[in-house]
Amino acid sequence: MISEKQLLYEARKRICTAQKALGMDSTEPSLDDQSDLKDLESSGDPRFGPLALAVIRDFAPVAFALSSLRFAQCVPEEWRNRWFGAFTRTAFLAGNPENLRERIPFHYVSEDRSFAWLGPASPQVSLTLRRLLVTFPGTAPPVLDSHYTFQVPVHDSEACSRRCDSRTIVLSTDGLTQSDYLVNLNHALTESLHLGLIEGGAHVTIRHVPFLDRSLTPFAWVRVHRDKLSPSRLRAYCAVLSSEARGP
């Protein structure tokens, strides 16, 4: 088990990093902070930040992961910083990108047309997309292998001669829906990319565990949120393992 205190600290670290990305003054958190869950939520409210839109045709984790990264690589840098500052807030819609390509100026559409991404989107385009589509239901439990590995796409502007370390990202899956899973995976990948924890050409392994625990620490990055199974508590939903971590 990871202590509540440690989880709160990790959550504060993520907020602090996001605030810095927005050019805001932010005090580095310490383990001794006395703040509670409510303080955390008020300081990390991203409701008015930029929003990316993802159109999903099928629940396909590997293809989703690759498309999420490709999108994060190709959005304008200034917008990407603001998006990161808003915790890479993304709305998931159900739809067939193939049918929408002519009408919607997506920033990225996956080769198999199963995913399309948009951000920034004008209010007009955003409204059109929301009028045509529905929220991705994703209420079914995800059917997942224990792990999968893929190579991070290399963006046109990226020099691939740099070291291509491998990385392990661990996702907690107990009690999660498909939608929850994609939310966490998207945060983990896009924020890791922004922070330089993963780079084009790197091999990333996604591992699934019921819950994250102390054996995985120290984390290079972790997403902490209210536990949907026990909302009065915090839960570490996904983490990028540091190179020293042993891994599950």
Partner 1 sequence: MPRSIKIAEKHRKVLVAPIGVTATKPFMPSHLKGLLWVDVLQRATARFHEADLFYSHRAGYTSLQTLGFWEYLDRSQPGADFSSWTEETIGELYVKYQSGSSRAAYSAIRPYKEAYDSEEWIHPASIRIAEIWSEHFRLLGAHDPGIRPAKRSKGELSVLIEALATRGLWLDMRTSGGGGYLDGTLYGMPLRPAVSADGHSNYLIGFLLDLLPYVCEYDEIVLIHDQELHSDFTLLQRIVDALGGRATRISLGRVALSGSIQSSRYGGWNGVTVSDIAKLCLNEVDVPAFRLGLRLYFISTLGISSAQSFDTRLLLRRMRHARTLIARAGESPAPDLTHLFGAYQPHHYYVDPFKLTSSILNRKQGGPSKNLLESVYL
**Distances, alpha carbon 104 to alpha carbons 45, 70, 109, 115, 116, in Å:** 29, 18, 11, 13, 10
Q: List the one residue from 19, 35, 43, 96 that touches partner 1 (CB under 8 A).
A: 96
Query: Considering beta carbons, is residue 1 or 134 the nearer one to partner 1?
Result: 134
Query: Considering beta carbons, is residue 56 or 86 the nearer one to partner 1?
Result: 56
Query: Considering beta carbons, is residue 172 or 178 the nearer one to partner 1?
Result: 178
Q: List the one residue from 23, 76, 105, 137 that touches partner 1 (CB under 8 A).
A: 137
DSSP string, 6-54: HHHHHHHHHHHHHHHHTT---PPP-TT----HHHHHHHT--TTS--EEE
**Is the separation of the CB atoms in 69 and 193 below 8 Å?**
yes
Query: Considering beta carbons, is residue 31 or 229 the nearer one to partner 1?
Result: 229
64 is an interface residue for partner 1 by CB under 8 A: no
Assign residue 201 a region (left: φ > 0; alpha: ψ between -120 and 50; beta: otherwise).
left
**Is the separation of the CB atoms in 149 and 186 below 8 Å?**
no
177 is an interface residue for partner 1 by CB under 8 A: yes
Q: List the one residue from 37, 74, 132, 245 that touches partner 1 (CB under 8 A).
A: 132
Q: List the one residue from 98, 145, 165, 174 that touches partner 1 (CB under 8 A).
A: 98
Closest to 87 in 3D by CA, of 221, 212, 215: 221
CA–CA distance, 225 with 50 (Å, rounded to integer): 20
Number of residues that bind partner 1 (CB under 8 A): 22
Could you tell me the smallest distance in angstroms from the CB atom of residue 123 to partner 1? Answer: 18
167 is an interface residue for partner 1 by CB under 8 A: no
CA–CA distance, 140 with 234 (Å, rounded to integer): 23
134 is an interface residue for partner 1 by CB under 8 A: yes
Tokens coding 174: 């107990």
1 is an interface residue for partner 1 by CB under 8 A: no
Alpha helix (H) ranges present in 111-227? 123-132, 178-194
Could you tell me the smallest distance in angstroms from the CB atom of residue 98 to partner 1? Answer: 6
105 is an interface residue for partner 1 by CB under 8 A: no
Query: Considering beta carbons, is residue 114 or 217 the nearer one to partner 1?
Result: 114
CA–CA distance, 111 with 197 (Å, rounded to integer): 25
Query: Considering beta carbons, is residue 179 or 190 the nearer one to partner 1?
Result: 179
Query: Considering beta carbons, is residue 36 or 111 the nearer one to partner 1?
Result: 111
Query: HSE (CB half, 13 Å, CA atoms) of 171?
Result: 28
74 is an interface residue for partner 1 by CB under 8 A: no
> Applying CB under 8 A, which residues contact partner 1?
57, 59, 94-96, 98-100, 102-103, 131-134, 136-140, 177-179
